[in-house]
Amino acid sequence: MEGFCYADESQQWFEHIFAHHLEEARSRAFTLVEEGMLAQTGCIETPTLGARKVRFRGRQMPAYRFIHCILNQVVAGYDDVVRHRCDNRRCVNPDHLDLGSRGENLQDERDFYADGVDFGLL
Ligand SMILES: [Zn+2]
C-alpha cells in the first residue's frame, strides 16, 4: 500500500474507495439518504427497526457511517465512530452526523439511556 502501512484495515478500505470507487460510493450514499423518510425533527430515518446496514465493495457497516465518511471523504479507522447529533440511530441525515472517538460515543449513549427512552415504543 502506498505508504499507508500505519493505517488500519478500515482506513485502508476508505483510502481505496476514495481513490478508485468514489463516484459509485457517492451515488450509493445518496440513494440511501433518498430512501429514508423525513421526520418532523429533521431526521431522515431509514425504514428499518435499528440502524440500517450497508454492504459495499466487500465491507459491511452501518449506513450512517458509510454516508458520513463517503460524502465528507473521511478516512475513518476502527477508533473513529460516526455519531448522531440527534441521538436517532436510524437517522441518515448527513447534517446530523459527526465524527468522534469511541469514548465520546459511549458518553452519548449513556446520556441517551439516562433520558429513559423506551425502545418498545419505537
Ligand atoms: Zn437526525
- Please write the tens of the pLDDT for every residue from 68-98: 999 999 999 988 999 999 999 999 999 999 9
Q: Is 98 in contact with 83 (CB distance < 8 Å)?
A: yes
pLDDT in tens, the chain (122 residues): 455 557 899 999 999 999 999 999 999 999 999 999 999 999 999 988 889 999 999 999 999 999 999 999 999 998 899 999 999 999 999 999 999 877 666 666 666 555 444 444 44
Distance 58 CA to ligand 1 centre (A): 27
Average pLDDT over the chain, rounded to an integer? 86
Q: What amino acid is encoded at 54 in this protein?
A: V
Is the CB of residue 12 less than 8 Å from the CB of residue 4? yes
Q: What is the DSSP letter of 91?
A: B
- pTM for this predicted structure: 0.80
Q: Do residues 111 and 65 touch, judged by C-beta distance below 8 A?
A: no
Q: How far is the CA of 65 from the centre of ligand 1 (A)?
A: 13
Gap from CA of 3 to ligand 1 centroid (Å): 37
Q: Where in the chain are the domains?
A: 9-110
Output the CA 80–ligand 1 centroid distance in Å. Answer: 19
Output the CA 122–ligand 1 centroid distance in Å: 15
The whole-angstrom distance between residue 38's C-alpha and the CA centroid of its chain comes to 17
